[in-house]
Amino acid sequence: MVVGLQWGDEGKGKIVDVLSENFDIITRFQGGSNAGHTVIIGDAVFKFRLMPTGALRGKKVVIGNGVVVDPFVLLQELESLRSAGFNIDLLVSDRAHFITPYHIQIDQLQENAKGNQKIGTTKRGIGPTYADKISRIGVRASDLLTSLDNPQWKILAETSTSRIQELHHEKIEDSTLKSLDAYSETMKQIAPFVGDTSEYLNSAIDAGKRILFEGAQGTLLDIDHGSYPFVTSSNCVSAAASTGTGVAPTKLDSVLGITKAYMTRVGAGPFPTELQDATGEALQARGGEFGTVTGRPRRCGWLDLVALKYAVRLNGAKYLAVTKIDVLTGLNPLKVCVGYEIEGTELKTIPASSVEYSKAIPIYEELSGWSELPKVSDSDAYSSIPTTMLDFLKKIESWTSSKVAIISQGPDRADTILVPDVLPDISIDV
Ligand code: IMP
């Protein structure tokens, strides 16, 4: 399983792509089209919001019941992949909740109503769709495929309409109405891909198939464990792979957590190591830190080991992939956060309150930087890692008690180093 250990955008798409050859099936288990996964193959750049990354490698791809699905996005991604020559073998859970045009309008209205307390959502209808799921007024694939006259759809339509009109004093937007018209037509095209994914995945496990569970967003955006309320509306931690697919926790295997060599965050919320100076700008420019979904610039800062340790604990991440290590090249000294000071008290973990967390002043330790990257073209790239980079990686390992298994120093598959003898039964073909 692959999960993000920060505020999303850790480079999960690339790592899942690199690992996908070792698996038969790739499944997503939470989030929706708020995610943005970029995969680069040769000169071609692919950006997905919903489709599991393995779609590009001819793998069976599954969208589990924990995902909220925007059928327009799904269809558009299917069509663009098909026109690029890919044959997509997709199964979408009949129990997955579906995002409707109402949810998207409500997401936008809720954000606008928050004034300067905005979360900075992606405005893709994620929060309102999960809220309706928990309120038991949502619509699932199985409801939508019966017909749009079914009782569940009626409840959703009436509730959404009154929320938009009475709560927000707004009318239903023309774009909402227009897309509602197209909704059932789109559902018809998605219908052939809908089925019982839990049954499928469990049978596949029984038949000895290997499944890669692909997380979206990141631990610090988790609805329970993230910097609430500046979070997304799903559980992003590894445990969600079970509820989000219907595969029991006893059948799940090891967890690979992904962390950038520094931190980024898009949207509002506490970020103790944020750098609002030339170094922050350098990280943003070198790392191309602009959102895949919204194009918003990402806030950048030094690696926060306190947050990383917290995320490793929540996910049980025994293995780590450290991405974008190239972005730190030439910076000297490097800083890593090893504690917070909040109103005179030193803390070694993340406090529950975001008000308190936003007061955290990072306590840094300095490390020597490196000026050159390992030569990935060498057959033994690992042995060409500069000592200072090894020290940086060892610092991460000693803080988290996890093992660095993969180092990524660029967007291309070839820019990847598999640390020898760490990940059992995994090879990477660059
Ligand atoms: P929502 O998921 O659209 O409701 O947005 C809630 C928060 O999560 C906002 O701060 C978003 O910027 C952030 N967010 C959601 N999805 C991602 C992602 O895939 N990467 C990074 N941030 C995300």
Q: Each residue of 143-165: pLDDT tens digit?
A: 998 877 889 999 999 999 999 99
Distance 217 CA to ligand 1 centre (A): 7
Span of 85-99, 136-150, 192-206, 271-285 with lowest mean pLDDT: 136-150
Return the percentage of the chain with pLDDT > 90, whole number.
86
Which atom, in ligand 1's list, is nearest to the CA of 267? 10
Q: How far is CA 408 from the centre of its chain?
A: 17
Which fold would CATH assign to domain 2-83+198-418? Adenylosuccinate Synthetase; Chain A, domain 3 (3.90.170)
Examine the pLDDT at 336 and tell me if it is beyond 80. yes
Examine the pLDDT at 306 and tell me if it is beyond 80. yes
In short, whether 299's Cβ falls inside 6 Å of ligand 1 is no
In short, whether 222's Cβ falls inside 6 Å of ligand 1 is no
Three-state DSSP class for 253? coil
The pLDDT of 176-187, averaged and rounded, is: 93
The Cα 112–Cα 6 span in angstroms is: 26
Query: In 3D, which of 342, 328, 341, 343 has the Cα closest to residue 395?
Result: 328
Query: In 3D, which of 161, 160, 157 has the Cα closest to residue 149?
Result: 157
List the end-to-end C-alpha distance of the chain, in Å, as a whole number.
20
Predicted local confidence at residue 50, as pLDDT: 96
Predicted local confidence at residue 310, as pLDDT: 98
Predicted local confidence at residue 292, as pLDDT: 74
Task: Please state, in angstroms and as integers, the Cα–Cα distance from residue 263 to each residue in 16, 266, 283, 323, following that order.
Answer: 20, 10, 9, 11
The Cα 411–Cα 419 span in angstroms is: 18
* Sign of the alpha-carbon dihedral angle for 221, 224, 229, 234: positive
pLDDT band at 272 (very low <50, low <70, confident <90, very high): very high
The Cα 27–Cα 202 span in angstroms is: 12
Provide the CB-side half-sphere exposure for 139 (13 A, CA): 31
In short, whether 266's Cβ falls inside 6 Å of ligand 1 is yes
State pLDDT tens for residues 223-257. Answer: 999 999 999 999 999 999 999 999 999 999 999 99
Predicted local confidence at residue 48, as pLDDT: 86
For a pocket test of ligand 1, which of 124, 225, 232, 299 has the largest count of ligand atoms closer than 8 A to its C-beta?
232
- Spatial neighbors of 149 by CB under 8 A, at least 6 apart, are none
Predicted local confidence at residue 41, as pLDDT: 77
Known catalytic residue at 37: yes
Distance 126 CA to ligand 1 centre (A): 9
Closest CA to ligand 1's atom 9: 121
Return the percentage of the chain with pLDDT > 70, whole number.
100
State pLDDT tens for residues 82-133. Answer: 998 999 999 999 999 999 999 999 999 999 999 888 999 999 999 999 999 9
Domain ranges of the chain: 2-83+198-418, 97-193
For a pocket test of ligand 1, which of 114, 126, 217 has the largest count of ligand atoms closer than 8 A to its C-beta?
217
pLDDT band at 296 (very low <50, low <70, confident <90, very high): confident
Helices 305-315 and 387-400: crossing angle, nearest 10°? 50
pLDDT band at 40 (very low <50, low <70, confident <90, very high): confident
In short, whether 267's Cβ falls inside 6 Å of ligand 1 is yes
Known catalytic residue at 103: no
The Cα 230–Cα 203 span in angstroms is: 38
Tracing tokens 């509730």 back to the chain, one arrives at: 159
> Which residue is catalytic, options 9, 132, 304, 326?
9
Helices (H), 191-263: 197-206, 240-243
Cα-based angle 5, 10, 14 (whole degrees, multiple of 5): 125
In short, whether 129's Cβ falls inside 6 Å of ligand 1 is no
- DSSP symbol at 43: T
Predicted local confidence at residue 294, as pLDDT: 76
Task: Please state, in angstroms and as integers, the Cα–Cα distance from residue 54 to each residue in 36, 113, 216, 322, following that order.
Answer: 14, 38, 14, 20
pLDDT, mean over the chain: 95
In short, whether 66's Cβ falls inside 6 Å of ligand 1 is no
pLDDT band at 44 (very low <50, low <70, confident <90, very high): confident
- What CATH number does domain 97-193 carry, 1.20.120.140, 1.10.1040.10, 1.10.300.10, 3.30.70.20? 1.10.300.10
Predicted local confidence at residue 23, as pLDDT: 97
Predicted local confidence at residue 364, as pLDDT: 98
- The values of phi and psi at residue 257, to 5°, are -95, 140
- The values of phi and psi at residue 14, to 5°, are -65, -45
Do 322 and 312 contact (CB within 8 A), yes or no? no
Distance 231 CA to ligand 1 centre (A): 7
Closest CA to ligand 1's atom 2: 232
Span of 12-26, 143-157, 407-421 with lowest mean pLDDT: 143-157
243: which 2 tokens? 């509820």
The Cα 163–Cα 142 span in angstroms is: 24
344: which 2 tokens? 């005179």
Distance 203 CA to ligand 1 centre (A): 33
